[in-house]
Structure 1
Amino acid sequence: MKPKGIFLLAGALLAVLLAGCEQPGEQALPPRPVLVVHPQPAHEGSGIYPGEVLARFQPELAFRVSGKIIQRTVQTGQRVRAGELLAELDPADLRLQVQAMQAQQVEAQAGLALARDELQRYQTLYERGLLSQSQLDSLRTTEKSARARLQQAEAALANAQNQLEYSHLRAPEDGVIARVLAEAGQVVAAGQPVFVLAADGPREVEFSVPEQAYAAFSIGQPVEVTLLNQPDTRLPGMIRELAQVADPRSRTYSARVSLADAIVELGQSARVHVSGPAGPSWLLPLSAIDGEGEQAVVWRFLPESGRVQRQQVRMTSFDERFVRIDDGVQAGDWLVAAGVHLLQDGQQVRGLDADNRAVAAGSED
């Protein structure tokens, strides 16, 4: 073989060996997943709160005596008139008390009649000088005591008759039975609620105020109310009542909105619209803030391209959890909420919302 051919063959073998020793090229890494969130309105209390239409006056109705319910004449949702019978207790024991008081009254009447007759006879003897002044005074005292015992018996009889009448529970005013809390055959104590009456008159909307927004609400604050069957009609209202103590289970505060003369039905679902101050202001997690020097920066995720964009913002205040932003973001923006210090402008990422769902173009939730 010629020397030139040998050199060519050796060069080819060397090239093959060198190619086999080269490291494989690095594979492209998949887009990094990032948590993205929407900015939340910073106006505490602003928003829409679900509620329910109730009567302003909803007294709990109860018997004034204890006993066993023998009949209930109304149902939930039934309209009643003032004085209408709602339920009745077994009156047997109460009637016996009336009879006992009547007997005591008869006894007291007889005692008084005897004391008066004796006083009249001895008064004649006193006038004839046959009875001393002290004896006459004693008889007068006996007659007064008999008269007092009769008054006591009459009062006890009237009380027993009242107790018998209290075995009938009647509607104190016109309205609708909102709730039934006891059934026929049940033994109830005096004062134990049996019905809740939604009295005719003004209507209100009751809703719950979150604990973190409580400071933004006050009595007299104007709001607007929409009904579920009339979503396009906004009724003016005013917060009339605001609880001072949170519910121990839900940790929310009960509030009531007065609807003035609006015609609404009991139990309707409603929405209370509370407006915040004018001007955009947003809350972001503290972990969403990046920056250079004194300039605060957030990273906007663009679902159309799957990339992040650097955005300067104006930060006005912050606490251990949130930052308040007055400029630089808008409602509906997707903003990276964690790991912002690892991002670069234009970097390809995979946006995930709080429920670990991929955020694609056109996503709003």
Structure 2
Amino acid sequence: MVQPQPAGELADTYPGEVRARLEQDLAFRIGGKVSKRLVEVGERVKKDQPLAELDPQDVQLQLEAQRAQVAAATANLQLVRSERDRYKTLFDRQMASRSQYDNAENLYRAGEARVKQAKAEFDVSSNQAGYSVLRATQSGVISRRLVEVGNVVSAGQTVFSVAADGEREVVISLPEHSIERFKIGQDVFVELWSRPDKRFPARIRELSPAADPQSRTYAARVSFTADKVPADLGQSARVFVPVAGEVPLAVPLSALSAEGGRPFVWVVDPQSSKLTRREVKVGPYGEDQVPVLEGLKASDWVVAAGVQVLREGQQVRPVDHANRSVKLAAQE
């Protein structure tokens, strides 16, 4: 007899890897030569902890040059201020023309602007001197390291990747031909390879809008909905996506044949014991059974073994696993 498919097996399975929900690529904001590397892959870091340093010589020289510019602009401002004050006194006493006073006033204003500009450039250089030290933006674990001491890096070039502490997720790839079955918020289950005896409830949190150009699969992120899931970074996992609709019937794998890519089973007539080939639509294969979505009824009898030597209309003598004759009866 055709058997109901076990509810726990009524799901498509996709392999995945445990990742941090928040993963950051860290890079220097300026270019330069890496002089120090302070952490290794797998090392836990805290927020604002130094991770690497650039050779500070160039930025320090630039900072000193800007400091000198500020000093020069300040000295010039003092000079033009005194000139303006002198011409103001002379103008009030009608000993200097209006144009001479206006020229001194304009020089003073230009001196003020030059001081502001020099101080702003000094602040930029000071910030860049601080940018020569790369710091962690949040606590987590170093998951990738892409430079060594002595490498010359450009601004924005990834140096480290940090998996932030907190929530863990499973990253999977979904097939292109059935992507319409999946949606954000869909309930799934996750089985960790370290805990094969337990499935954790989860849901699809993120679904890529475009397929990968090489694998033609869609990346998806699955987040756990249970608290305190023992998932570690890099762990292997399996994501079970329940099949929507009614629970299908199931037959042994040995009962299934195919021709031209179209699966079929041999159905036995209970009255005449003759065979009829019937095409079926099947679901994802299990370890020893395959669900039949269309083509069979619960009352049907199918041949479970030796299907490769059968033919249409052939009369058979049904037996069980102990080779004992079985009397078929039509089921209501």
Give the TM-score, by structure 1 length. Answer: 0.70
Does the residue aligned with 2:80 lie in a helix, a strand or coil?
A: helix
AA aligned to 1:71 is K
Q: Is the 8 A contact 1:284 1:325 kept in 2?
A: no
Matched, 1:262 2:231: no
Matched, 1:327 2:292: no
The CA deviation at 1:220 is 0.4
Q: Is the 8 A contact 1:219 1:240 kept in 2?
A: yes
Q: Is the 8 A contact 1:69 1:87 kept in 2?
A: yes
Q: Is the 8 A contact 1:90 1:167 kept in 2?
A: yes
Q: Is the 8 A contact 1:83 1:173 kept in 2?
A: yes
**1:280 corresponds to:** 248
Where do 1:197-212 residues align within 5 Å?
Answer: 197-212=162-177
Deviation string for 1:235-284 (max 9, x for gaps)?
Answer: 11010001111112211111100114333211111110111023217898
Where do 1:78-157 residues align within 5 Å?
Answer: 78-157=43-122
The CA deviation at 1:138 is 1.6
CA distance, structure 1, for counterparts of residue 224 and residue 85 of structure 2: 72
**1:71 corresponds to:** 36
**1:294 corresponds to:** none
AA aligned to 1:280 is P
CA distance, structure 2, for counterparts of residue 144 and residue 88 of structure 1: 41
Does the residue aligned with 1:230 lie in a helix, a strand or coil?
A: coil
Where do 1:228-267 residues align within 5 Å?
Answer: 228-260=193-225, 261-263=227-229, 264-267=231-234
Q: Is the 8 A contact 1:281 1:326 kept in 2?
A: no
Change (3 A) 1:229 1:298: closer
Change (3 A) 1:144 1:309: farther
**1:345 corresponds to:** 314
Gaps of 5+ in 2: 251-255, 283-291, 317-322, 324-332
Q: 1:214 aligns with which of 168, 174, 179?
A: 179
Where do 1:176-191 residues align within 5 Å?
Answer: 176-191=141-156
Gaps of 5+ in 1: 1-39, 291-296, 302-307, 318-322, 348-360
Does the residue aligned with 1:327 lie in a helix, a strand or coil?
A: coil
Give the TM-score, by structure 2 length. Answer: 0.77
Matched, 1:271 2:246: no
Does the residue aligned with 1:232 lie in a helix, a strand or coil?
A: coil
Does the residue aligned with 2:183 lie in a helix, a strand or coil?
A: coil
The CA deviation at 1:112 is 0.5
Q: Which has the larger radius of gyration?
A: 1
The CA deviation at 1:331 is 11
Deviation string for 1:151-180 (max 9, x for gaps)?
Answer: 000000110111111010000111110111
Q: Is the 8 A contact 1:235 1:262 kept in 2?
A: no
Q: Is the 8 A contact 1:313 1:325 kept in 2?
A: no
Deviates more, 1:76-85 or 1:259-268: 259-268
Does the residue aligned with 2:119 lie in a helix, a strand or coil?
A: helix
CA distance, structure 1, for counterparts of residue 117 and residue 111 of structure 2: 10
CA distance, structure 2, for counterparts of residue 284 and residue 135 of structure 1: 105
CA distance, structure 1, for counterparts of residue 160 and residue 141 of structure 2: 10
Q: Is the 8 A contact 2:18 2:169 kept in 1?
A: yes
**1:160 corresponds to:** 125
Aligned pairs, number: 287
CA distance, structure 2, for counterparts of residue 134 and residue 96 of structure 1: 42
RMSD over aligned Cα, in angstroms?
3.4
AA aligned to 2:40 is Q
* Percent of paired sites with the same residue: 43
Q: Is the 8 A contact 1:288 1:335 kept in 2?
A: no
The CA deviation at 1:71 is 1.1
